[in-house]
Chains A and B, each alone.
Chain A
């Protein structure tokens, strides 16, 4: 049951460059999407979210883009910093459909090289 897919298990970028993390979903009932960042031995930390009524949400260096027709979202980090190195999880929720659960992707490990 892979309703949320992160097809790249890892990504490596240079400090100062853009990091683009991708996420695809299959469930058209999803209407709220979140990105979480996770360091080893810690819990997921909320980064940024987007509602399905929007196509972009920006918070500082982080921007999430949503393409509903393609069922695709992406997280852009500009400029990337070594402290951004972590596993990034995409998650989705069908709030308007009455579900509270978050469905997670498998995660993408981002490494930002100095």
Chain B
């Protein structure tokens, strides 16, 4: 069964450093998402991406964050200058069609990257 994959599974970084989290969405999916879960808190939406541009973002997704689809398979989340509060599990998700035709599409999640900022 096709699945979303994410690398690395764990990342430790120093405050102020840049990190890039990588995701390979399900191959025929067109919409891609990033979510995060800070320890003990809810899973929170960060950003959605379609047709090579951001389609929706949350207030969390400030100028420190960026997303990119550098090739036909990868989808990345970059945090330019990490802060202690960026420590969280970051989940990538994808859906087949997103809002095309306002169809309600299920989002499928990857296993996550645990980011620890020291």
A positions within 8 Å CB-CB of B: 31-32, 34, 36, 41-46, 49, 51, 89, 91, 93, 95-96, 98-107
Asked if A36 contacts B48 (CB within 8 A), the reply is no
B positions within 8 Å CB-CB of A: 4, 6, 31, 33, 35, 41-45, 48, 55-56, 58, 91, 98-99, 102-112, 114
Closest residue of B by beta carbon distance from A32: B104
Closest residue of B by beta carbon distance from A45: B109
Asked if B56 contacts A44 (CB within 8 A), the reply is no
- What chain A residues lie within 8 Å of B114 (beta carbons)? 41
**Minimum C-beta distance from A88 to chain B (A):** 12
**Minimum C-beta distance from A71 to chain B (A):** 18
Contact pick for B31, options A31, A100, A103, A105, CB 8 Å:
A100
Asked if A105 contacts B108 (CB within 8 A), the reply is no
